[in-house]
Amino acid sequence: MAGTSSARIVLVVVFGVLALIGSAQAQLQMNFYASSRPKAEQIVLDYVKQHIPNAPSLAASFLRMHFHDCIVRGCDASVLLNSTSGQAEKNAVPNLTLRGFDFIERVKSLLEAECPGVVSCADILTLVARDSVVTTGGPFWNVPTGRRDGVISNITEANTNIPSPFHNFTTLLTLFSNQGLNLTDLVLLSGGHTIGISHCPAVSRRLYNSTGPGGIDPTMDSEYAENLKANKCK
């Protein structure tokens, strides 16, 4: 239980960090749509609660999508934009495995039917990420709204700024520093990954092709590495 509580605290702080990235683009406030479209946030929540239980792994996907969006030009939904030339953020290598775009589109359609042209896609993505985590048993945290959608989506910026699972610590710290984030932010945002799963190709080189005994990366916990080799990533 202690581990679960710690993970939940990490997730709350993670989104506190994400809320700060690019927040200068708009004056964020709680219940931004309360006077203009009071049903907006409830529409998002109702749809998430209806469908996420059927595909709970999407909670981690939306958490990841939200981070990938925020790390490039702030939380402006530019990761959702398409490009006829294939040069949008969505086409960048780190974003090729993002999923759930159709889910966001369906939520957007519901909101457009209720209140056309009011709720930004940036706020939709932020709310869906939070509500998905909550629906799958994670923590609740307050989400200020009022974000504005970006109109620039550049594949090069995404490839350059989004951290890679193969980056070393120094490179990761530099990428975070470029966003005005510090070591604590790096640790917290990395910890947010515990909501999802990792795929073997992301770690297999550290299990079989490293410099340690048996090909194991000597910086890994040896017992954990052997368990992965025996049971997960054969």
The answer to whether the annotation marks 61 as part of a ligand binding site is no
Alpha helices (runs of H) in the chain, residue ranges in sequence order: 2-20, 40-51, 58-70, 101-114, 121-135, 155-161, 169-178, 183-191, 204-208, 222-227
Cβ neighbour number for residue 7 with a 10 Å cutoff = 15
The answer to whether the annotation marks 226 as part of a ligand binding site is no
The answer to whether the annotation marks 66 as part of a ligand binding site is no
131 in Cβ contact with 44 (< 8 Å): yes
Specify whether the backbone of 124 is left (phi greater than 0), alpha (psi in -120 to 50) or beta: alpha
Question: Which of 66, 68, 167, 199 is the catalytic position?
Answer: 68
Question: Which tokens is 135 given?
Answer: 């629906």
The answer to whether the annotation marks 102 as part of a ligand binding site is no
CA 2/CA 23 separation, integer angstroms: 32
The answer to whether the annotation marks 149 as part of a ligand binding site is no
Closest CA to 117 of 109, 127, 129: 109
CA 218/CA 207 separation, integer angstroms: 10
The answer to whether the annotation marks 78 as part of a ligand binding site is yes
The answer to whether the annotation marks 22 as part of a ligand binding site is no
**Half-sphere exposure (Cβ direction) of 49: Cα atoms closer than 13 Å:** 7
Give residue 21's identity as a one-letter amino acid code: I
The answer to whether the annotation marks 76 as part of a ligand binding site is yes
The answer to whether the annotation marks 84 as part of a ligand binding site is no
Please indicate whether residue 167 is annotated as part of the active site.
no
Query: Which residue ranges are tagged as binding site for substrate?
Result: 163
| Active-site residue set | 68
Name the binding residues: 69, 72, 74, 76, 78, 89, 163, 193-194
Residue list for the binding site for heme b:
193
Q: Annotated binding site for Ca(2+), which residues?
A: 69, 72, 74, 76, 78, 89, 194
